[in-house]
């Protein structure tokens, strides 16, 4: 009787140990092994979508159980507008079924032309440029005989120039007074140059002579030089050609 009694605690301990082992094994199988097996079966490799349109990219990934996530437009100098520039996750990476694939879609090189705004009122011109993505660097006044005061006389870069969005633009606004670019007088006869100077309200100042092969009286040099900002009342100095042959002076 004593032998039977001594074996009962041992059997009970063995049963408990076996039960605990089974519980641990079941827990490990349910929480570690099964998820690995299930997830492994639901993974797919992300295909390469670079260069596709967004519609074609979606057609490619939907049969794999994937879907388009965020699609943002970014500038790109080479890939045509509307094509995939980049994707996240990258091509070849394995992801779970149902995963969203984010795309960067080319918006092109963002090259645009400076619009022709000559004759528009300044506020309207500023609005048009800002809406087109340009930055107003500054507004200058320029005297113009053809454009009414307060309206755009010129832009820099000039209208029609191809530039990138975000380029700074200088607006020149017409005024009846103020500065204007000095006209070119070089190569003109002195009398013609004199008339142009007077027509702009400037004053002909010092005239010097220099020996030259150019015809007698031809303007060789001017100051202010062509394109320099001048204003009515400014003095213009000239150097004109004189004959190099002494015989012609007799």
Using alpha carbons, select from 150, 169, 147 the residue that is nearest to residue 160: 169
pTM (2 decimals)? 0.39
Q: Which DSSP category does 243 fall into? A: -
Q: Which DSSP category does 18 fall into? A: H
CA distance 239 to 219: 6
User: How far is C-alpha 73 from the chain's CA centre?
Assistant: 13
Q: Residue 26 has what pLDDT?
A: 65
For the chain, counts of helices (H) and of strands (E):
5, 15
Q: What domains are there in the chain, each with its CATH number?
A: 43-106 (3.30.10.20), 111-175 (3.30.10.20), 181-249 (3.30.10.20)
Q: Residue 138 has what pLDDT?
A: 87
Residue 105 in contact with residue 131, Cβ under 8 Å? no
CA distance 97 to 86: 20
| Angle subtended at Cα 44 by Cα 40 and Cα 48, rounded to the nearest 5 degrees | 155
Using alpha carbons, select from 23, 87, 21 the residue that is nearest to residue 54: 87
Using alpha carbons, select from 138, 134, 190 the residue that is nearest to residue 162: 134
- Mean pLDDT in consecutive groups of 10 residues from the start of the chain, 250 residues: 56 72 66 51 89 94 93 82 92 93 86 89 91 87 79 90 85 80 90 88 92 93 90 91 62
Residue 39 in contact with residue 96, Cβ under 8 Å? yes
Q: What DSSP assignment string belongs to 56-124? A: HHHHHHGGGT-EEEEEEEE--SSSPTTBEEEEESPTT-EEETT-EEEEEEE----EEEPP--TTSBHHH
């Amino acid at each position: 009787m004593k032998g039977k009694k001594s074996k009962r605690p041992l059997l009970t301990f063995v049963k408990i140990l076996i039960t605990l082992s089974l519980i641990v094994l079941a827990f490990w199988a349910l929480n570690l092994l099964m998820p690995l097996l299930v997830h492994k079966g639901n993974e797919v490799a992300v295909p390469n979508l670079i260069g596709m349109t967004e519609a074609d990219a979606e057609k490619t990934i939907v049969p794999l159980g994937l879907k388009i996530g965020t699609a943002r437009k970014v500038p790109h100098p080479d890939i045509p507008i509307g094509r995939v520039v980049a994707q996240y996750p990258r091509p070849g990476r394995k992801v779970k079924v149902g995963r969203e694939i984010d795309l960067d879609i080319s918006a092109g090189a963002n090259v645009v032309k400076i619009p022709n705004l000559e004759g528009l009122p300044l506020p309207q011109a500023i609005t048009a440029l800002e809406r087109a993505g340009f930055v107003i660097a500054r507004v200058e006044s320029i005297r113009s005989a053809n454009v009414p005061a307060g309206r755009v006389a010129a832009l820099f870069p000039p209208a029609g120039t191809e530039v990138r969005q975000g380029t700074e633009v200088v607006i020149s606004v017409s005024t009846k007074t103020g500065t204007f670019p000095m006209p070119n007088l070089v190569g003109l006869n002195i009398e013609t140059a004199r008339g142009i100077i007077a027509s702009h309200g400037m004053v002909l100042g010092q005239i010097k002579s220099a020996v030259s092969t150019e015809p007698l009286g031809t303007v060789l040099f001017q100051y202010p030089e062509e394109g320099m900002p001048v204003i009515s009342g400014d003095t213009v100095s000239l150097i004109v050609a004189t004959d190099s042959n002494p015989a012609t002076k007799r």
